[in-house]
Amino acid sequence: MLAVLEAGFPDVTKFPAAELREVIASRRAPLAHQPDMEIARDVVIDGPGGDLTLRVYVPHSESNDPLPVIVFAHGGGFVFCDLDSHDELCRSMADAVDSVIVSVDYRLAPEHQAPAAMEDVYAALLWASENAGEYRGDPDRIAVAGDSAGGNLAATVALAARDRGAPRIAAQILIYPVIDDDFTTESYTKYGVGYYNTTDAMRWYWDQYAPGDRSSEFVVPTRAATLAGLPPALVVTAELDPPCSAGEYYAERLAGDGVPVVAHRFDGLFHGFLTFPKLSLTGPARLELWRMIRDVLKVGDPSAR
């Protein structure tokens, strides 16, 4: 699988951002709209940069109680991917975790640099806290989540919500998150070449998103003086991934500052693997991830009902 990805994925450093988005989008299969949802609806809200589109997924649920809400930020190096690229993952998460998912079509870099994407996800979080009830969601159980660059946005939004005093977040779910811009860690040294996601690509993503000052914790969450007071965290990493060490270090810092943390590394797997549902190892890994998310949100297993 890694060989196929290495051969087929474009060298992101060689393309203008707009062209890169077209190249990557052209590789996608048509949307299957599966698993089926009770509601899968695009909603346009007033964002800090203008219209901001959210996609709200409400699963078919046997529960009569309000469902947890997960505000989700997609990956893509801050530069590409969108609601459609993560549609299947969000549907599968909503179905397996029995939760409302609010996926955010945040502004992309380099046209919109840091912290634009973070502010968009924060605006989506505020919207969810005010409107969750219209979608069977529980406004008192709202989590933020994201994969890759979206993991960075989930972490920084959690910091913003803490520092701004609202809204209360039940959990932060960071999936192989791009936590910081330190390219000298053990995992960058071991896996920076030949494992699909490269050190050169990661450096380029950061240069698109935050080419100048990266001193703010709303850009690089490890810049925060303290992580105390943040919501409980689930930090999921992949062994063969350059950002792996940084994610694990962030989990250690959270725990050291008194934040309840579950840290889990998927050994033998690479960055982005959860968005490849046909990979034989993805299904079992997803089952483990769904269980951990249910645990952090205190949700029962819908398949057991």
Q: Which is catalytic among the residues 148, 187, 245, 303?
A: 148
- At 13 the three-state DSSP class reads helix
Residue 61 bears catalytic tag: no
d(CA 9, CA 77): 14
CA-atom Rg of the chain in angstroms: 18
Residues 6+ apart with CB under 8 A from 178: 77, 148, 149, 151, 152, 202, 205, 243, 246
d(CA 162, CA 123): 14
Neighbour-count burial of 150, counting CB atoms closer than 10 A to its CB (0-12 exposed, 13-18 middle, 19+ buried): buried
Backbone angles phi, psi at 246, to 5 degrees: -65, -40
**Which pairing describes strands 171-175 and 233-240: parallel, antiparallel, or unpaired?**
parallel
Q: Is there a contact between 72 and 104 (Cβ–Cβ < 8 Å)?
A: yes
Question: Would you tell me how many other CB atoms lie within 10 Å of the CB of residue 265?
Answer: 17
d(CA 47, CA 50): 5
**Which pairing describes strands 137-147 and 261-270: parallel, antiparallel, or unpaired?**
unpaired
Residue positions annotated with a catalytic role: 148
